[in-house]
Amino acid sequence: MEAAALYLRFKDNLAIIVGALNSKLERRTMPFDITIPLEVDLLADVLRLHGLDFSSATAGAMRIQDFQQWFLQHEEQVSAVLHHVLEDKKAYMKTTTGTVLQKEMLMRRLEFINQTAHTLAVMMEQQQLGSPKHHNYPFLNQ
């Protein structure tokens, strides 16, 4: 998906993810409790380079809810930073694993949020339709 489309769907994707995480969706077999906080922290690193400071001590996937609340309070500033970073093709940032383009770092986070929103939306639709479980995990039947 194009960067512009990811940028335009960002707010909606956050709402889809938070809505799904707050629903009764069965997601214990999915890695969201590990991946979501990592991706939110990486996105916060990009924003921090431009003077926006998001931090959360919430563990697990619900960290994205803290981010969404913060985002809604600072939507104009965050949107300006996202737009600026996506337009800047030469800005770099240092990470623990090396130096990367800020634009590339941001695009990967936006893609992750888009894909996670899509996955959770499909899972919710399957659950609402009463689709059979694809895997029978013994620990889920306890």
List all residues 6 or more positions away from 37 whose beta carbon is below 8 Å from its beta carbon: 58, 59, 60, 61, 63, 64
- By the 8 A CB rule, do 103 and 111 touch? no
- By the 8 A CB rule, do 36 and 135 touch? no
Q: Determine the structural domain holding residue 20 and report its residue range.
A: 3-141
Number of domains in the chain: 1
pLDDT in tens, 39-90: 999 999 999 999 999 999 999 999 999 999 999 999 999 999 999 998 988 8
* Residue with tokens 């300006």, as numbered in its chain: 80
CA 10: distance to chain centroid? 9
pLDDT at 4 over 60: yes
Q: Give the pTM.
A: 0.87
For the chain, helix (H) and strand (E) counts, in that order, are 5, 2
